[in-house]
Amino acid sequence: MAVSFAPEIYVNARPTYPSEWYSKLAALTPNRTLVWDAGTGNGQAAIGVAEHYEQVIATDVSEGQIKHAMPHPKVRYVHAPLSMSEDELVSLIGGEGSVDLVTVAEAVHWFDLPSFYSLVNRVLRKPEGIIAVWGYKHFTLNPVFDSVMNRFIETAMPYFNPNYLYIRDSYRTLPFPFESVGFGSEGNPLMLDLPQELSFDGLLKLLSSWSALKTAKERGVDLLTEDVVKEFESAWGSHDHSNLTRTVNRKAFMIAGKPRI
């Protein structure tokens, strides 16, 4: 049983971020006019933060992700290909010093960090604008399942982007040249719990959404074979695997800061 990758899989496969994350970030910004959600993917973070701000500009280099993003009246989704210049992006987002909050959910490790941080410093309001980046690790369930998952991760590791190492160390080595605002800091991220209700079918969709599986398939390697799926089925622990929902536990990590003046 081979599972294929598609952008729409992200919509249902990825965990939901707690609403209090957004309210706590909003409390840090005196102005709540404009947010830039960079690497928006399915728009999950953009929609969450839109509850606290007048407008969200949500960008992604993937046109497929933008097409499948979840609509919201306060969110404007924009395809921002890598070919766009920094000046074009500044104009697209709203101009110099126009953004109250920049959010990056489970994506900053993909970015050209020096270029991205230069752009962030240009668009954030001074001195009160905030940037917040966060990610999460693969979930744990029980010793049997965790052993299967860990072996699968090790098999997939050669196909992940090298910057995936930032995820593995919970952003502890992620460069973050901004002044701390009490939500983690460079080298010392804020650790958070991120539980998720997940069915076995949801697990397969989640695994198939990994970038490593897409890269492996492009190289002629199927990581999620029928034998691997059966191994996961056995570890999930039910005769009716597809309908059994379990609460899985993740560790998330966040760093927030403001421009250094």
Residue 1 belongs to a domain: no
CB-count exposure of residue 164 (10 Å: 0-12, 13-18, 19+): middle
**Does 207 have pLDDT greater than 50?**
yes
So what's the pLDDT on residue 140? 87
Q: Do the domain assignments include residue 193?
A: yes
Q: Which residues contact 46 (CB under 8 A, 6 or more apart)?
A: 35, 37, 40, 56, 58, 69, 72, 75, 77, 103
Place of tokens 């056995």: 234
Q: Mention every residue, 6+ apart, whose C-beta is less than 8 A from residue 17.
A: 44, 45, 48, 105, 134, 194, 252
Residue 85: which domain range? 9-258
Peptide bond into 114 cis (omega under 30): no
- Residue 95 maps to a domain: yes
pLDDT cut 70: percent of the chain above it:
92
Separation between Cα atoms, residue 55 and residue 79, nearest integer Å: 17
Q: How many domains does the chain have?
A: 1
Asked, for residue 66, whether it belongs to a domain, the answer is yes
> What token pair was written down for 147?
């052993």
Q: pLDDT grade, residue 248 (50/70/90)? A: confident
CATH number of the domain bearing residue 178? 3.40.50.150
Judge whether 4 lies within some domain.
no
- Per-residue confidence band for 15, with pLDDT thresholds at 50, 70 and 90: confident
Residue 14 lies in a domain: yes
Residue 13, pLDDT score: 57
The owner of tokens 């752009």 is 119
- Tokens encoding 222: 């199927």
SS3 146: helix
Task: Give the pLDDT of residue 241.
Answer: 52
What's the confidence (pLDDT) of residue 138? 84
Q: Is 90 exceeded by the pLDDT of residue 249?
A: no
Across 66-78, average pLDDT:
95
Q: Do the domain assignments include residue 88?
A: yes
Q: Which residues of 13-48 are buried (b: 16+ CB within 10 A; e: fewer)?
A: bbbebeeebbebbbebbeeeebbbbbbbbbbbbbbb
pLDDT for 1 beyond 80: no
